[in-house]
Structure 1
Amino acid sequence: MAKCIRALRNADVKGGFVFGKDVSLLETNVYKPRNPVGDLGGKPPSQRSILAFFAGSMHGYVRPILLKHWENKDPDMKIFGRLPTSKGNRNYIQYMKTNKYCIRAKGYEVNSPRVVEAITYECVPVIISDNFVPPFFEVLNWESFVDFVLERDIPNLKSILRSIPETRYLELQMGVKKVQHFLWHPKPVKYDMFHMILHSVWYNRLYQITPFN
């Protein structure tokens, strides 16, 4: 294990992730295996009137803090625990399709499928997960389509998001649309998730053979 390239869903710096050797994976829920991108897209930016959305089970220490500060506290912050079950997960998906920012707060692990879900529905991801190593960081500028917020700044989350200029939000939202190519497909297509993972493995193998200066 010390010598192999590990492809890790939970790419946690404190959990032993090794830069230059290990590969970070994007965690994904595939709801429709025959057509994973059939529900791609969402409302245009001009029709996304709600600032932020989160819903999920309460595990780990970050999510309870998020709900303590923001659940039912502000109409611009749609922050919930687990949503009631609906056919096809429609309630959850509709929130993602109609909100500006989708919060990805870590649970037991630093990673979660919410980043891919937000990209799928064109909602700008907000990652609250210290020590998380973003997948494909070797080639992708994550700050062009994601906003990162430190765990300690959860009490200031609304003011942080409100302080982002509209021009910056539109750039992030456009960035989200640009990276929609790295989703899963029934058969791999160029630059999709399958090929990006292979590229990360190849890149790290090359790094081990010939370290870059």
Structure 2
Amino acid sequence: MTSLIEGSSTSSHVPQLFHNSVRVLCNANTSEGFNPSKDASFPKTHLRIGEISGLIGGPSPSSRSILAYFAGHLHGHIKLLLLEQWKNKDEDVQVYDSLSEKESYREMLKKRKYCYAKVDTKLRSPEYAECVPVLISDHYVPPFSDILNWKSFSVQIPVKDIANIKRILMGISQTQYLRMHRRVKQVQKHFVVNGPPKRFDVSHMTLYSI
């Protein structure tokens, strides 16, 4: 049996479902019962159906002058910690709780080298903007991690090191950054929702994981 659900707690109250199904979870958190050897992680996002031309890309890596960036509505303890540590504290690590109506989140991503990937929400945005994702979590299993090598195109930082984000990112060489940026472009197709599904897109990747 396979079920697609947003949170692991939905099935935890039904033991037969919890133990005997392959659960496809948007919030793949091992601390909440996600089992990497049995379950599959799915990228939760606003659906964008069709070709991704016009939605992806951005300036060359050399034109991305800001080191790191995050903006979004308050949700979850990680974002609260980010705001507490970095909001209005550093020009290189730009953290906002919201954007004005005149500012485009997608366009802002395209001008940054590293972008915080909101693991419980729209993980796909950094890949579309070719901004290297920064995953801040202790228990999250990224989508398709049984297929994709996330360490090759993202930076994974434990929650306890939020205060050290700048030091960690500044410690990444330009050569390594360019390599990750190139690989972000390579994996974009795996996060696209097509109707009907196309080879290597998010639907095929999910089925392969199952």
Question: Given the two structures, how large is their TM-score scaled by the length of structure 1?
Answer: 0.85
Residue 38 (structure 2) aligns with: 21
Residues 158, 85 of structure 1: CA spacing in aligned structure 2 closer, same or farther, 3 A cutoff? same
User: Tell me, which stretches of 5 or more residues in structure 2 are unaligned?
Assistant: 1-16
2:27 aligns to what SS in structure 1?
coil
Residue 60 (structure 1) aligns with: 76
Asked if 1:5 corresponds to 2:22, the answer is yes
| Contact preservation (8 Å) 2:83, 2:96 | yes
- Which amino acid is 2:57 matched to? G
Q: Aligned-pair RMSD on alpha carbons?
A: 1.5
Residue 196 (structure 1) aligns with: 205
In the TM superposition, what is the alpha-carbon distance from 1:156 to its structure 2 partner?
1.0
User: Tell me, which stretches of 5 or more residues in structure 1 are unaligned?
Assistant: 202-213
Distance 1:178 1:54 in 2: 23
Distance 1:138 1:64 in 2: 30
In the TM superposition, what is the alpha-carbon distance from 1:187 to its structure 2 partner?
2.7
Structure with more of its chain in strand, by fraction: 2
- Which amino acid is 2:149 matched to? N
Asked if 1:143 corresponds to 2:151, the answer is yes
Distance 2:104 2:133 in 1: 18
- Which amino acid is 1:137 matched to? S
* Correspondence list, 1:174-185, <5 A: 174-182=182-190, 183-185=192-194
Q: Which has the higher contact order (CA 8 A, sep 6+)?
A: 1
1:6 aligns to what SS in structure 2?
strand
Asked if 1:50 corresponds to 2:66, the answer is yes
User: Sequence identity, in percent?
Assistant: 40
Residue 10 (structure 2) aligns with: none
Residue 168 (structure 1) aligns with: 176
Distance 1:61 1:80 in 2: 15
Q: Give the count of matched residue pairs.
A: 192
Asked if 1:111 corresponds to 2:116, the answer is no
Residue 75 (structure 1) aligns with: 91
Distance 1:95 1:166 in 2: 21
Residues 136, 195 of structure 1: CA spacing in aligned structure 2 closer, same or farther, 3 A cutoff? same
Deviation readout 1:183-205 (Å, 9 max, x if unpaired)? 1123311101010001011xxxx
Residue 196 (structure 2) aligns with: 187
Residue 7 (structure 2) aligns with: none
| Contact preservation (8 Å) 2:50, 2:193 | no
In the TM superposition, what is the alpha-carbon distance from 1:68 to its structure 2 partner?
1.2
In the TM superposition, what is the alpha-carbon distance from 1:96 to its structure 2 partner?
0.6
Distance 1:165 1:36 in 2: 30
In the TM superposition, what is the alpha-carbon distance from 1:35 to its structure 2 partner?
4.7
In the TM superposition, what is the alpha-carbon distance from 1:97 to its structure 2 partner?
0.7
Question: Given the two structures, how large is their TM-score scaled by the length of structure 2?
Answer: 0.86
In the TM superposition, what is the alpha-carbon distance from 1:40 to its structure 2 partner?
1.3
Residue 210 (structure 1) aligns with: none
Distance 1:111 1:137 in 2: 15
In the TM superposition, what is the alpha-carbon distance from 1:36 to its structure 2 partner?
4.8
| Contact preservation (8 Å) 1:37, 1:185 | no
